[in-house]
Structure 1
Amino acid sequence: MKDCVFCKIAKHEIPTKIVYEDEELVCFHDNKPSAPVHVLIIPKKHLEWQTLGETDKELLGKIFLVAPEIAKKLNVLTSGYKLVMNCGEGVGQRVQHFHIHLMAGWD
């Protein structure tokens, strides 16, 4: 999507601190963190939660399999972390590109 900030991050058009990247996903630090550790995991392909379908199942599963790898890299795997997904502006979703928040670091 042309004006999507997450698509631009995925294409390296907007600089950010990337934590993890492969051919389908990119994970980077949230620019307005709500936790001591707060990163976003996004598919490089523009997806919106309202239009997810059968063809997206493998990619969505991959996000949840990669999350522990990212947590380990950020040193929060054993202390604990949470995965959060906001679906819609009414609950705080600011960017209409499917993403998962990985948050941790509270003592």
Structure 2
Amino acid sequence: MAAVEAPQPALAAVSKTSSEGYEKKCIFCKIVNNEMGTELLHCDEDLSCFRDIKPAAPHHYLVVPTKHVGNCKSLGKEHVPLVKRMVEAGKEILQKNDVTDLSDVRYGFHWPPFCSVTHLHLHVLAPASQMSLMSRLFYRLNSYWFITADQLLELLNSKEDTN
């Protein structure tokens, strides 16, 4: 009798049957579509998560919308639920990787033009206290180039509705 393999939920890339939400030149779109061989720690219809290729902390993950969304400067008030879900997904990934001190975590976005990929991506760094001096500079709080998730949510909530 042949063994039957159980389906692999959540970690398989979400297949795109059309080009909607996919930018063919975007490295993160390629990653979430399993075109790069990058291990996906989480992947569902809305969000995907993978390790940063240049980790700035022992745990450095990127949480991205599975469908292409521009950088944080292009977001409006209607994106508040998305950003909140990104932070929650980051917390879940940390917990799955045995990070128990969620008070020593940095969640944030590089502010354009200081982001190398225009696909929205949340940096999840833990423990923040173990970041190197250069990493602390690169992911510095209250800087021109890095905005925390809380700061972005505050900014988005202060915008006028575009609907």
Question: What TM-score, normalized to structure 1?
Answer: 0.85
Residue 17 of structure 1, CA deviation? 2.1
Structure 2 counterpart of 1:37: 59
Provide the C-alpha distance between the structure 1 equivalents of 2:63 and 2:90, rounded to a whole number of angstroms: 8
RMSD: 1.8
Structure 2 counterpart of 1:5: 27
Residue 82 (str. 1) matches residue 117 (str. 2) = no
Gaps of 5+ in 1: none
Gaps of 5+ in 2: 1-22, 132-163
Native 8 Å contact 1:71 1:81 kept in 2: no
Question: What TM-score, normalized to structure 2?
Answer: 0.58
Three-state SS of the structure 2 residue aligned to 1:103 is strand
Q: Report the number of matched residues.
A: 105
Three-state SS of the structure 1 residue aligned to 2:50 is strand
| 1:74-95 deviation digits (Å, cap 9, x = unpaired) | 21132632112101133xx111
Three-state SS of the structure 2 residue aligned to 1:26 is strand
Match of 1:22 among 20, 44, 48: 44
Give the aligned residue type for 2:47: L
Native 8 Å contact 1:29 1:38 kept in 2: yes
Provide the C-alpha distance between the structure 2 equivalents of 1:71 and 1:97, rounded to a whole number of angstroms: 22
Native 8 Å contact 1:68 1:77 kept in 2: no
Provide the C-alpha distance between the structure 2 equivalents of 1:97 and 1:83, rounded to a whole number of angstroms: 16
Percent of paired sites with the same residue: 33
Three-state SS of the structure 2 residue aligned to 1:18 is coil
Task: Flag the structure with more relative contact order, 1 or 2, with Cα contacts below 8 A and sequence separation at least 6.
Answer: 1
Q: Which has the larger radius of gyration?
A: 2
Structure 2 counterpart of 1:59: 82
Structure with higher strand content? 1
| 1:48-67 deviation digits (Å, cap 9, x = unpaired) | 12322344332222112222
